[in-house]
Structure 1
Amino acid sequence: SSAGPARLALVADGGTAWAERREAARRWLAQGGARPADVLYRDAPVGGETAFVYTNGSAAYPGMGHALTLACPSLGESVRAGHRAIGTRLRSGRGPGVLDQIWSVAELAVFHTVFSREVLGLRPDAAIGYSSGESTALVALGAWPDASGLYEATRESGLFTTELTGELRAVRRYWRQRGIGGDRWSSYLVAAPLEAVRAELAGERAVHLMAVNAPGVCVVGGESKACAAVVTRLGVDRAIELDYDMAAHAPELAEVREVWREAHRRPTVDVPGVRFYSAATGRAYRPTTERAAEALTAQGLGTIDFAATIERAWADGVRVFVEHGPRKLCTGWIKRVLGDREHVAVALDTPDDAGLRNLCLAVGELVVAGVPVRADALTARLAEAATGLPAPGPTVTVAVPPTPCLPPLERAVTVLPR
């Protein structure tokens, strides 16, 4: 029942598994102990606003989103109707380079947004992006209706192909002007206290604090050798090098400040009822062409504080966080930021979710939290996808030619020199 206040949800494949899971849940409720797998429960609903959360291009992985797009093929038409060119990379797979990573993640996030709205019936009160996720949020929620124009602007600007990645032209100009050697950028996800990281970076000119993700989790980046030295001092066991060699959230972008701002100066429309957060300030703003360009330029040139943005959103009344896009990195950071405080954070994608079980668990979390979500619409879609296979075509008989009979080979005669 959805009458509440206490709610329980089960995720099972059907058949005997459903009865077994229900019996396990009944025993757990009566006797206590460890909660059974795939059983979700809350004593009371979670009150508050809902935020759609958008991750960045570094979260891309091969095959992301394929299971959901196959299960809900009709949503692709809604995506193309609302966003025109969006959707092609989900079908063809992402190409090499940072720009394709960013756009393939954005396209899955757009698909997730259509799925959240049209299938699950979710309505966001706020939008929170991590790095390029801020631009994705503007596209996915309709504030930037010209996705094709944005793609062309970012591609033609060279920012994401030669200036800040690849040849690193702008970055190397910045370094040369300051006597910094090197020709490669590296970024690391670091699990260490923020104070320790800041202390190591205090005397560094070529390594920067790019992002604060959560307590004890941040990203540093800069000239490759200098960056590796910082990581060594912090402890190599505390860091993971990111497969995302793009300079961002650093002063090197001052070389292309105006180009960056112009590429992100897009025709903007109002999205009633939704406020957008900037990780540069940690505060919400109402997007206009100029405000959005300024917000994205500020976060491009400086450290983004995702943790502080989540804190502010929670203080503003957000209690439900739904991550759109691949993996579920932002969801983990949000849980780390908010700890035991009342909230629910779920992700619509995980890399190991070929059967969409984790998606069903995420929707189950929303159900038991009392979030108005159409779980029955999801189960209906999945049931249709499982049974709605096309009828087989006509049988075609192909004659198999007989095995050819070749004449026997003559024995080779070897003539030795006299």
Structure 2
Amino acid sequence: MLFTRFITQIIRDQFQVKPEFVFGYSLGETSMMSAVGIWDNFTQGIRALHASPLFANRLSGAKNAVREYWQLPPTHDNNLWANYVLMTTPSQVREYLKHEKRVFLTQINTPEEIVIAGQPAACERIIQILGCNAFRAPFDHVIHCEAMRSEYNEIARVNTLPIQKNLPNVTLYSAAEYGPMRIDSGAIANSIATGLSQQLDFPRLVNRVYDDGARIFIETGAGNICSRWIDKILAHKDHITVPLNRRGLDDHSGLIKALAKLVSHQVSIDISPLYTQVTETNKKSKLTLKKVTLGGQSITDKILTQQNKQLFCNISTTTTKSQPINPPATQPEEMPIQNIMDNSLEPKAEVQFVESTQPITILSQSHYQQLNANNFRVHKTHDAFLQSRQEFSKQISELIQLQLACAENLLSE
């Protein structure tokens, strides 16, 4: 009931969706009165329902209303009532209800889906005879049958609530007479009590609203169950169903999808709450575009002209030349390349160990000369590299200075 009330206020007050017809399924008629703003005091209705024994021990729990109707003694066994959903037609199940006095056809959801309720064993016998797909409903309260008509006055009492002075411009439909409901506190209470105390024919109610002009059905209940039923009831008629809550989908996404569906069918709604208003400005950013042509002359020769160089005369053009490294006084002697592989078959001379009396410096003089020559070549190559890098850095510096000057000219325009 709370969800229906809140989602109705959002879709109606925020997005300005204005319904012409309103109807509910079973207990949904009480939610309907609060959601569209018929009842003046919503809290009073909640408190009255919680204080009533209706869903405490009369229609739920001990189900004393059923015990009295069947004249059963009071016991602690509450498994005397169950509800089953059957995939069959109402006409097929009515034939077997004649032989089961404790089973009732309570709700007709679609032409091929119904609900029976009563003694569990008797209900299962009918299901076995029919051989149809069926499952036990997750609720076990007593509703829409003769066994609970004794609670008519109590249902009417808890639903007798003051109504708003400024009523919305909508037509309310009730399953009591399958037609428009008179907007009066007493009339509303009696309609709800009558509808809950008798069999519910949902296809009859949907077709009546459709015949009066309804084509777009927006469901504010949970789980889009009624939307599925309406699609089956109106399968061969032009219509659309728009559930605001779907299984497996969060409420925000469900609402957005519903609004998109309404917009696609040209329903007049206000979608401004979905986006933030942004103030437009006449200031347009100046685009700094520069055309670059590929190929042609060298970019260095093109940019570093004499005229451009004069603009950056403050750039130092002096460079420090590194002093070349003097070569060693003595040139290294050429060392003959010896053949280190001898493939001859002649016998090798034995290795003779000769004790040398020459100093080590004299024996290694040729090696020192070779190392000195290698160092000279390394220093010479490194000096050439430093000179090239200095020239390259100078060119990069001039290019950067020219780019800065161009940027300043563009910004000053």
Question: Into which bin does the TM-score normalised by the smaller protein fall?
Answer: 0.5 to 0.7
Q: How large is the RMSD of aligned CA atoms in angstroms?
A: 2.2
5+ long unaligned stretches in structure 1: 1-105, 382-418
For 2:82, give the aligned amino acid.
S
Larger radius of gyration: 2
Provide the aligned length of Structure 1 versus Structure 2.
273
Corresponding residue of 1:213: 109
Q: What pairs with 1:220-369 in structure 2 (closer than 5 Å)?
A: 220-235=116-131, 238-269=133-164, 271-354=167-250, 356-369=252-265
Shift, 1:322, TM fit: 0.4
With over 3 angstroms needed to count, the CA separation of the structure-2 counterparts of 1:367 and 1:313, relative to structure 1, is: same
- For residues 265-286 of structure 1, give each alpha carbon's deviation from its aligned partner in whole angstroms, at most 9, with x where no partner exists: 2222362321111123211112
Is the CA contact 1:344–1:369 (under 8 Å) kept in the aligned structure 2?
no
Is the CA contact 1:262–1:293 (under 8 Å) kept in the aligned structure 2?
yes
Q: Which moved more, 1:223-232 or 1:306-315?
A: 223-232
Partner of 2:161: helix, strand, or coil? coil
TM-score (norm 1): 0.62
Partner of 1:230: helix, strand, or coil? helix
Partner of 1:212: helix, strand, or coil? strand
For 1:344 and 1:269, locate their aligned partners in 2 and report how far apart those are by CA, in whole Å: 31
With over 3 angstroms needed to count, the CA separation of the structure-2 counterparts of 1:363 and 1:114, relative to structure 1, is: same
Which structure would you say has the larger RCO, counting Cα contacts within 8 Å and 6 or more residues apart? Answer: 1
Shift, 1:251, TM fit: 0.7
For 1:188 and 1:231, locate their aligned partners in 2 and report how far apart those are by CA, in whole Å: 9
For 2:45 and 2:138, locate their aligned partners in 1 and report how far apart those are by CA, in whole Å: 24
Residue 36 of structure 2: which of 141, 157, 180 is its match? 141
Is the CA contact 2:61–2:78 (under 8 Å) kept in the aligned structure 1?
no
For 2:189 and 2:241, locate their aligned partners in 1 and report how far apart those are by CA, in whole Å: 29
For 1:161 and 1:379, locate their aligned partners in 2 and report how far apart those are by CA, in whole Å: 46
For 1:116 and 1:338, locate their aligned partners in 2 and report how far apart those are by CA, in whole Å: 24
For 1:254, give the aligned amino acid.
R
Partner of 1:245: helix, strand, or coil? coil
Corresponding residue of 2:26: 131
Shift, 1:183, TM fit: 4.7
Partner of 2:164: helix, strand, or coil? coil
For 1:327, give the aligned amino acid.
G
Is the CA contact 1:280–1:303 (under 8 Å) kept in the aligned structure 2?
no
For 1:355 and 1:110, locate their aligned partners in 2 and report how far apart those are by CA, in whole Å: 14
Corresponding residue of 1:158: 53
Partner of 1:165: helix, strand, or coil? coil
Is the CA contact 2:63–2:78 (under 8 Å) kept in the aligned structure 1?
no
- For residues 55-82 of structure 1, give each alpha carbon's deviation from its aligned partner in whole angstroms, at most 9, with x where no partner exists: xxxxxxxxxxxxxxxxxxxxxxxxxxxx
Residue 168 of structure 1: which of 51, 56, 63 is its match? 63
Determine whether 1:200 maps to 2:96. Answer: yes
Partner of 1:200: helix, strand, or coil? helix
For 1:315 and 1:233, locate their aligned partners in 2 and report how far apart those are by CA, in whole Å: 37
Corresponding residue of 2:404: none
Shift, 1:307, TM fit: 0.8
For 1:266 and 1:355, locate their aligned partners in 2 and report how far apart those are by CA, in whole Å: 30
Is the CA contact 1:194–1:216 (under 8 Å) kept in the aligned structure 2?
yes
Percent of residue pairs bearing the same amino acid type: 27
Is the CA contact 2:26–2:200 (under 8 Å) kept in the aligned structure 1?
yes
For 1:227 and 1:379, locate their aligned partners in 2 and report how far apart those are by CA, in whole Å: 53
TM-score (norm 2): 0.62
Shift, 1:122, TM fit: 0.5
With over 3 angstroms needed to count, the CA separation of the structure-2 counterparts of 1:266 and 1:355, relative to structure 1, is: closer
Partner of 1:211: helix, strand, or coil? strand
For 1:220 and 1:359, locate their aligned partners in 2 and report how far apart those are by CA, in whole Å: 34
Determine whether 1:184 maps to 2:80. Answer: yes
For 2:202 and 2:173, locate their aligned partners in 1 and report how far apart those are by CA, in whole Å: 10
The structure with the greater share of residues assigned to strand is 1
Is the CA contact 1:168–1:183 (under 8 Å) kept in the aligned structure 2?
no
